[in-house]
Every structure is written in C-alpha cells, then in structure tokens.
A and B are shown apart, each in its own frame.
Chain A
C-alpha cells in the first residue's frame, strides 16, 4: 500500500493539537459575517448577557470566524486567544448558546467537504470543551463548500472559505 501522507488528519481528529505552525500570519478574521438565519446579536430579555461584549471591536470576542489551513482541522495558534475568550464568555454566560458552523473550500468532492467542515466545527467544539465549556451550550453544523464566504476559484477565496463561524444565540 502506498500510503503517501501520514495519518495527520486522524491525529487532528483524535485530539485538538495546537500546532505552533506560524506561517499564514495574515489573519483578517475580524469581520462579522451577517448571514441570514444566523442570529449573532439577539439577546433575549432577562438573559445574563447583553451582547455588547460580543460586539466590541476591541474584544477578542469580536472575532467570530476561525480560519483553517488547507486540508487541516487543527486550531491555528493565532486563534487560540480568541477561542479562549469565547470559552470564558460561554462559561460566565451559561444561558448563551453557540452554534459552530464548519466550512470547507470548494476543492474536491462535496460530501467529503461536508465531512471536513464537520471536523473543523468539532475541533472548535473540542477546544471550547477542553477549556471548560459545557457541551450543552454548543451545537455544530457543517455546510461543507455549500456556503462560501468568497466566490473566487483561487487561494485567496479558498483561504477565506476554510473556516468555522461562531453564531451566538441567547
């Protein structure tokens, strides 16, 4: 058997590995993506959180898109601080719920990309749970390559599309 690549994907799946791979330092992940059906601001009356922290551009909580490297589902080092902030937020706001959307770029087959998107969403979930967030606060969904954020057929678009999106509910 010519097993060309090592089982790094399996390793990534088995545990969330914090690879200190620097490289792709350019992260423009500070934008909030307003998606239809994604309720990112709606704080229900009487809930413990107001939503303001999540909307503060100076807060790490403002970042709600977590980018991934090609064919990878490991959390990049440049997103660890952001995810720790989200974990702390969820722990101190037990009525807040988080939907994690997993996405993939358009290359390769669609259903396999659904699997990749789920692996990315689960990597974020595992990170948050390891930080102490109860699993009951988190749900995940994979859109694979079906909901691209950028529509080009090249690496700049692909790198924007390999992402997890954090969508808060109240």
Chain B
C-alpha cells in the first residue's frame, strides 16, 4: 500500500480566521476502547520546534473517536522515537496493545519530514510506518492523516480525522439589533474555524459538494431566500436560484453534477433537480403536501425526502428520474431530514420520541429504527464520511451546540463554541488529494 499525502486542506482559505474555536469533549466513551500509547514525536532539527506536536494531535484524534484510549504521556516509562529505542516489555507492563512513535525533521525551507511507526506491542512487530513530507501550514493535516492510517490499520475502517465540518453560527444582537449569522468551516477536531459567509439574515442548509471544494447553502440576504454555491478555497460564489417562494434544502448528487432542492415556485414545496452546469431544472415530486429535504442514495439512483402527504412528516423514496414515491418510515409520528450513510446501509434522520426530537438511524431493509441521541431538540444529523459517527445539533442550557454520536450509539461527544448558537453541522467528504491510494 502506498499513499501520497499531498494536502490541500489549508491552502488558500483566504478568509476571516478570527472565529472562536470549538472544543470537543467526550461525554460518553465506549467500553472496551483499545489502549494505545502515542509517544510525543521527537524534533530532530535545530532552532524553533514545529508549530504543532504531531503525537499530541494523533493521540487526541484517536481518543476522540471513542475507539481508543491513549496512555497519558506522564505514565510512559520511556519516550522512544526510533525503532531501536523501543523495549516492548515497558509497554506490555503498561497494558497497551499498540504503540506509535515518530519524529519530525527539517526538510528544506519551510518543510518538514514526519516519520512514524505503529507497533503491535504483544507480538513485538511493526504494523506499518510512513515517511511524510509536509510544511508548517499542513502539519496538523499531516497529523490527522497519520491518525487516519493508524485508525484504519487497527479497526479495518478508514479514519475520518483529516476532514472538516461546516456549520452555522448565530449571535443574537442586543434588543433592536440584528442577529449575526455566519457559515463557518473548521477542522473535524474543531481547530481553526473560519467564516466563509456572514449575514444579518438567516443562512441555512449548508451542503458540501462531493469533492469538498464547494458548499451550497440557502441565504436570505436581500430579504428573500436563494440557493448559493460557493467555492470553499477562493470564496467565489454564485446565486443558483431565487424563485418566488421557498428556495431550500440543496443536496448534491454523488457525481456533483446535480443539485436536488426544494422550490415552491409552483405553489407549494416540491423537490426539483437542477443540472448545475446547464442550470436546467426538472421536477422530481409533485404533490400538494410539503415535500422537502431531499438526499441522494450513494449510487445516485434514488432520493429520499421528507413529506407530510400522509399526515405528519415521514420519509419517502423516489427514483432519480421521477415516478411513484414509496414510504420508507413507518415507526413514529415524525420522521424528517433523512440522509444515507456513505455505504448506503443506514439512513440518519430526526425522529420524535415521546415529544422529544432525536437523532436516529433506520435500516431500511429491516425497518429497524435506533434512537441514538438523548436531547429534546436534536436536529440536522450528518454522517462522517467513514460512516462511524453522526454529527448533529442539540440544545444545552438554552444554547445551540453541536454533538456527535457513533452509529452504534456507544460514543457521545459534545462540541462547544465559546459564543452564540451553533447549528446545522455538516461533515465534509474525504477531501480531494488527501486520500489517494
């Protein structure tokens, strides 16, 4: 296996970086998390040390997943950074299953070379090891890639640490002053949030393009809702629709060529599909009920959407070329905002349980509905690109915060922003050029 780890993650985000940061706390960890030791990476250069400590970022990523329990560095008997310095007996004594060591070397002007090794402590074997050129600017991204490699080597599933989240923040103005709404993007660990658009009018429904380079969203600027598409790296944006009535719920097709959306230009909300290049529009549903919140199946052959054609809101499925919609959810009086897991096996959605709105997954084949969250006003679930977790919006103490839950329900996290309300989180796809094999 050979990977290029060329990162475009932080390139060209020529945008306001003065946003307050998100902090992530694990509110419920998984039992049976794997004990692992990530030794601080040694710096083998003279002069200033690198701006970030790679080992610390890797350990934090692995710990946050809930699947691993990193050993605190002050409990380590030794801190090796080369293979020949490792004595596995030290680590067996500490009951860690796996060990990660590494170092960082200067590599040309402004560059670094990061090397790391992953060991099976009990077998005393190296499992994998990489040497990755990077820069000061991309050092955090490189650390997240290392965490992805370790996660995949030990769990068999790809990691989703080198990804980002987009979300909407709102700071309520003083009496008589308008609210400040912003669409922001941060690394998946909450680091480095940047505002990509802000407004005094509502901003809603951000949606990443499948290549992670564009975001579609709804903005009410100029006192009417429009769907916009903005390039993440340049900030360049274009208004796609501004029809009479609702212009909402944009959803990219898996190939990035089409956007499904909700328009009520013909009198009530229906789902339409727009060819993004040609700007041609075709109706997908036509019903007197509210049809909204379209989401594509991963194979692009069908979409699910929310409709109250049967009374309360429920999830329906329709072929991509139109035709008869079939009902998907049958349990509970309120099911909305569905989206597919990346492998297509599950749908995440909002469901109402005893008057509380919670995040659930549905297995459409078995019809098994699993409620994963515990709040009363939980909404906007979005799958991580590896399907391991769902990020969603909830309320704590009257404040909008983000939370995440593993799809098996065992790990719960909360993401806190210092100021204002946070809502509508959407997890990015794997970002282009970061994960080629």
List chain A positions with a Cβ less than 8 A from chain B: 1-10, 13-14, 34, 36-37, 71, 106-112, 114-116, 118-119, 122, 140-144, 146-147, 151-153
Cβ of A1: which chain B residues have Cβ within 8 Å of it? 310, 327, 330
Provided the pairs A4-B311, A141-B224, A143-B220 are in contact, do residues A112 and B246 lie with their beta carbons within 8 angstroms? no
Besides the contacts A110-B379, A119-B290, what 16 more A-B pairs have beta carbons closer than 8 Å? A1-B330, A2-B330, A10-B289, A13-B288, A37-B201, A37-B223, A106-B377, A108-B379, A109-B313, A110-B380, A110-B423, A111-B249, A114-B248, A114-B262, A115-B269, A142-B246
Give the shortest distance, in Å, between B197 (CB) and chain A (any CB): 15
A73 CB → nearest B CB, Å: 10
Report the 7 A-B pairs with minimum CB-CB distance, sorted nearest first.
A115-B290, A146-B202, A5-B311, A109-B337, A109-B336, A111-B249, A115-B269
Q: List the B side residues contacting A108 at CB < 8 Å.
A: 313, 334, 336, 350, 352, 357, 379
Hey, which chain A residues are within 8 Å of B344, CB to CB?
none
Closest to A140 in B: B245
What is the total number of residues of chain B having a CB less than 8 Å from a CB of chain A?
Answer: 50
User: Are A9 and B204 touching (Cβ within 8 A)?
Assistant: no
Q: Which residues of B contact A140 (CB under 8 A)?
A: 245
What does the 1/0 interface line of B257-298 toward A look like (CB < 8 Å)?
000001010001100000000000000000011101100000
Question: What are 17 pairs between A and B in contact, CB < 8 Å?
Answer: A1-B330, A5-B311, A8-B311, A9-B308, A10-B289, A10-B311, A37-B201, A109-B379, A111-B292, A112-B290, A112-B336, A114-B204, A115-B290, A115-B308, A116-B290, A122-B268, A152-B398
B354 to chain A, nearest CB (A): 13
**Could you mark each residue 394-424 of chain B with 1 if its beta carbon is under 8 Å from any beta carbon of chain A, else 0?**
0100100000000000000000000000011
Question: Do the beta carbons of A110 and B357 come within 8 Å of each other?
Answer: no
Closest CB in chain B relative to A114 CB, distance in Å: 5
Question: Are B311 and A6 interface neighbours, CB within 8 A?
Answer: yes
Asked if A153 and B377 sit within 8 Å, CB to CB, the answer is: yes
Of all chain A residues, the one with the shortest Cβ separation from B338 is: A109
Cα distance, A118 to B243, chains bound together (Å) = 14
Q: Are B223 and A141 in contact (CB under 8 A)?
A: yes
- A118 with B269: in contact, given A4-B311, A109-B380, A111-B205 (CB under 8 Å)? yes
Give chain A residues whose Cβ lies under 8 Å from the Cβ of B249: 111
Cα A142 to Cα B423 with chains together (Å): 19
B333 within 8 A of A: yes
